[in-house]
Amino acid sequence: MMWKCCEEHVDLAIDMYVDEMEAAPEIQSVPVDKSDERCDFCQNRAAYVVGN
């Protein structure tokens, strides 16, 4: 389970992961070469990948 998310939705992605998995997620920055990735919640540029 993973979500790509912008700065605005990182807290939402963390909360959803914890609710589903009952564990803390790994949070990684989106690499510069993948800067065209979009947030799964709003389609803004993704800044983080939240999940395992």
Residue 33 pLDDT greater than 90, yes or no: no
pLDDT value of residue 35 = 76
Give all strands of the β-sheet with 2-5 in edge-to-edge order: 2-5, 48-51, 26-29
Residue 49 CB-density burial (10 A; 0-12 exposed, 13-18 middle, 19+ buried): buried
Residue 34 pLDDT greater than 80, yes or no: no
Instruction: State the chain's mean pLDDT as an integer.
Output: 94
Q: Is 1 helix (H, G, I), strand (E, B) or coil?
A: coil
Q: Which one is predicted more confidently, 39 or 32?
A: 39
- Mean pLDDT of the 16-26 span: 97
pLDDT value of residue 48 = 96
The helices-and-strands tally (H runs, E runs) of the chain is 1, 3
**Domain ranges across the chain:** 3-50
pTM for the complete prediction? 0.87
